[in-house]
Amino acid sequence: MTKDDDYYMISACKDGNPMLRDGKTGDWIGTFIGHKGAVWQAKLSHDASTAATGSADFTAKVWDTHTGELLYTLQHNHIVRAIAYPPHNADMIATGGFEKKLRIFDLAEVRPPPSSPSNAPIETVVLEASSAFEIGAGVHKDSIKFIVWTNVPTTLVTASGNTLRWFDIPTVSCFREETLDGEIKSCEVVALAPGYSDSKDIGAGNPVLAVAAGKTVYFWDGDQFDNQIKSFKLLHGVASVGLDLKGRKFAVGEEPGTWVRVYSWDDGSEIDILKGHHGPVWSIAFSPDGRLYATGSEDGTIKMWKNCEGFYGLWKGNAGSAPDRLTE
């Protein structure tokens, strides 16, 4: 997630302590302390001013990324697996999880009171599940693992079991379903920052939804991610997928396995294999400038791979035949 000329990376983890890092170097910036269970998902707001986390402790939390303070605790009745901000808005949060309920919390309705004295810790706002708006009641039959807010602020996409669903917020209803090749393991929006994208990129310079399910990866574009532009059936299961919009390739975490395989967007041929993780790779994300990507694994590490020539971040010199790697 970008802010000014910098960008940041947030990681979820089973130890319950999500971390914020510099996106170019991987340097640790801070740890958000307060969850009492595994953190299944973590997201940054569009301006990186706040971070949202969903946890096995039956809460979602919203944090100030500058001070590390806990701003909001969003109470739930079961594990929170999915969390999402709308584009260009840090005042709303969508959550989902084992309750099989899609909820939207409006954070603008209640603000943390100013601390007194000014250097005292702020008072965290606690919101009950009943204070949220439920969308599509009774629609989900499996736990919600991913939520994507589309470029249309009134449309959400959820991943639950083997099904993608599109929801209209004003009517609180589901208006489209797509059954995929298997259980959905990854569902993320891929986008380049303004100034880096152009009409020659995959998606014609606009964000693309990348989904991994069964042995297939899927890609959608359009304002509501309702236009499937490609899918690739692979020879192995897929635990995650990341898309290089400018370089025209995609990377997947194989399942079972610990390798990341890189394929050509144009013909689906395998062009590289990245080795080094010692557990399944559950997350792959390209940077907002497309010049590196990060892989997050069950082995408790994040590895950062250079995706460009020359100097970049902590890398020196040209990329070799295999991507240069940093490990955190």
136-190 pLDDT, tens digit per residue, is 999 999 999 999 999 999 999 999 999 999 999 999 999 999 999 999 999 999 9
3-class state of residue 49 by DSSP: coil
pLDDT digits 0-9 by tens, 47-83: 999 999 999 999 999 999 999 999 999 999 999 999 9
Q: How far apart are CA 37 and CA 34, in angstroms?
A: 9
Q: For 1-179, which CATH class?
A: mainly beta
Q: For 185-328, which CATH class?
A: mainly beta
Helices then strands, counting H and E runs in the chain, come out as 0, 29
Confidence check: pLDDT of 320 > 60: no
Confidence check: pLDDT of 322 > 60: no
Q: What is the predicted pLDDT for the residue at 181?
A: 92
**pLDDT class of 118 with cuts at 50, 70, 90:** low
Q: What is the predicted pLDDT for the residue at 112?
A: 80
Alpha helices (runs of H) in the chain, residue ranges in sequence order: none
Name the least confident of 6-15, 84-93, 276-285, 308-317.
Answer: 308-317
3-class state of residue 229 by DSSP: strand
**266 CB-contact burial (10 Å; exposed 0-12 / middle 13-18 / buried 19+):** exposed
Work out the number of other CB atoms within 10 angstroms of the CB of residue 263. 19
Distances (CA, A) of 73 to 70, 107, 125, 145: 8, 11, 6, 20
pLDDT digits 0-9 by tens, 2-53: 445 689 999 999 999 999 999 999 999 999 999 999 999 999 999 999 999 9
Q: What is the predicted pLDDT for the residue at 325?
A: 61
Confidence check: pLDDT of 326 > 80: no
- Name the nearest CA neighbour of 166 among 135, 201, 204, 120: 135
- According to DSSP, residue 129 is labeled G
Domain layout of the chain by residue ranges: 1-179, 185-328
Q: Which two tokens stand for residue 73?
A: 């605790």
Mean pLDDT (whole number) for 88-111: 95
Q: What is the predicted pLDDT for the residue at 242?
A: 97
Q: What is the predicted pLDDT for the residue at 321?
A: 43
Phi/psi region, residue 184 (left: phi>0; alpha: psi -120 to 50; beta: rest), is beta
Residue type, 123: E
1-179 and 185-328 have identical folds? yes
Q: Write down the residue that tokens 């439920």 correspond to.
A: 134
pLDDT digits 0-9 by tens, 246-274: 999 999 999 999 999 999 999 999 999 99
Q: Which two tokens stand for residue 155?
A: 């449309």
